[in-house]
Amino acid sequence: MSILNLTPDSFSDGASYPTTESVVQAAKRMIKEGANILDVGGLSTRPGADEVSEEEETRRVVEGIKALREAGIEIPTSVDTYRAGVAREALKAGASCVNDVRAGLEDGMLEVMARSSVPVVLMHSRGTPKTMGSLTDYDASSSIVDSVRLSLLSSVQAALAAGVKKWNILLDPGLGFAKTASQNLELLSRLDELTKEGSGLEGYPVLVGGSRKRFVGEVTGVEVPRERVGGSLGVVAACYLGGGGNRGRTTKVVRVHDTKETRELIGVLEAVGRGRV
């Protein structure tokens, strides 16, 4: 899943695509480099980000998605939003998936997900971009993995009760959202436990988005987000290996900025697994 942020203030690629033509050209490049899905966002959810109006977010994503479809780009496209109204209009414009950082908590979102019958991503998070940095304390009697798993299980149950189809649900542990660097790393190292037998989440595919995030910079010492390519590839490798060596059974989608490099990495890992090209 390649990231196409149509925002002026995203932490890594804000203001990269100022016109619909630049959006289309970026999408074509990502597809050529190996993208399977495009993730279009019109509102930054980075820590500390200011919210924009629903009208402005809607304008950004609808214009972008319409431009892609009018250019003949038919690759599956998700809308990265937690607002029901934005999701509804994006789906009308041609989006084919809803990627929700708040896992359907906002009014009306689960209903939109259920009625549209498209794939949806339910992500673990806490608070808002303004408050998430202060919400990293979890139940001391359990691990961060168990806390995230139980929260995702609650989100899944609410989605199913609202009529969202089980086979349309993907889960995202929410790296970087209300989590310290150490907590992010623990989640990565134990990804296989999220959907293991007895977890209540067996069979649900996992999506992971760790590309260029702050914890990657803390590990590598790279301060500029755009320069965290190597560290971001390390996150993808950890996902491929499944955290506990459970290769290919946990993470099914990685959300990335650096499509070409990620595709090359996965190609090598797959070739090694097969023992041949």
Catalytic choice (60, 213, 214, 228): 213
Q: Is 255 a catalytic residue?
A: yes
243: left (phi over 0), alpha (psi -120 to 50) or beta: left
Average pLDDT over the chain, rounded to an integer: 92
Split at pLDDT 50, 70, 90, the class of 19 is: confident
Query: Has residue 153 got a pLDDT over 60?
Result: yes
Collapse the DSSP code of 97 into the 3-class scheme (helix H, G, I; strand E, B; otherwise coil) and give the result.
strand
Cβ-proximal residues to 217 (8 Å cutoff; 6+ apart), any chain: 223, 225, 228, 231
Triad 177, 179, 181: Cα angle to 5°: 115
| Number of neighbours of residue 169 by Cβ within 10 angstroms | 23
Split at pLDDT 50, 70, 90, the class of 277 is: confident
Mean pLDDT of 149-175: 98
Whole-number pLDDT of residue 13: 52
Q: How far is the C-alpha of 157 from the C-alpha of 38, rounded, in Å?
A: 27
Q: What is the number of structural domains in the chain?
A: 1
Question: How much of the chain exceeds pLDDT 90, in percent?
Answer: 80
| Chain segment 170-217, per-residue pLDDT in tens | 999 999 999 999 999 999 999 999 999 999 999 999 999 999 999 999
Domain of 185, in residue numbers: 2-274
Range from 12-21, 82-91, 139-148, 265-274 carrying the lowest mean pLDDT? 12-21
pLDDT, greater one: 231 or 18: 231
Split at pLDDT 50, 70, 90, the class of 245 is: very low
| Chain segment 32-69, per-residue pLDDT in tens | 999 999 999 998 877 777 788 999 999 999 999 999 99
Task: Return the bridge partners of 169, or none.
Answer: 120
Mean pLDDT of 158-171: 98
Split at pLDDT 50, 70, 90, the class of 14 is: very low
Whole-number pLDDT of residue 220: 97
CA distances from 52 to 7, 44, 60 (A): 10, 9, 11
CATH label of the domain that carries residue 256: 3.20.20.20
Whole-number pLDDT of residue 161: 98
- Burial (CB count <10 Å: 0-12, 13-18, 19+), residue 184: buried
Query: Has residue 224 got a pLDDT over 80?
Result: yes
Q: What are phi and psi of 188, to 5 degrees?
A: -60, -40
pTM of the model: 0.91
Q: Quick check: 122 and 172 in contact, CB under 8 A?
A: yes
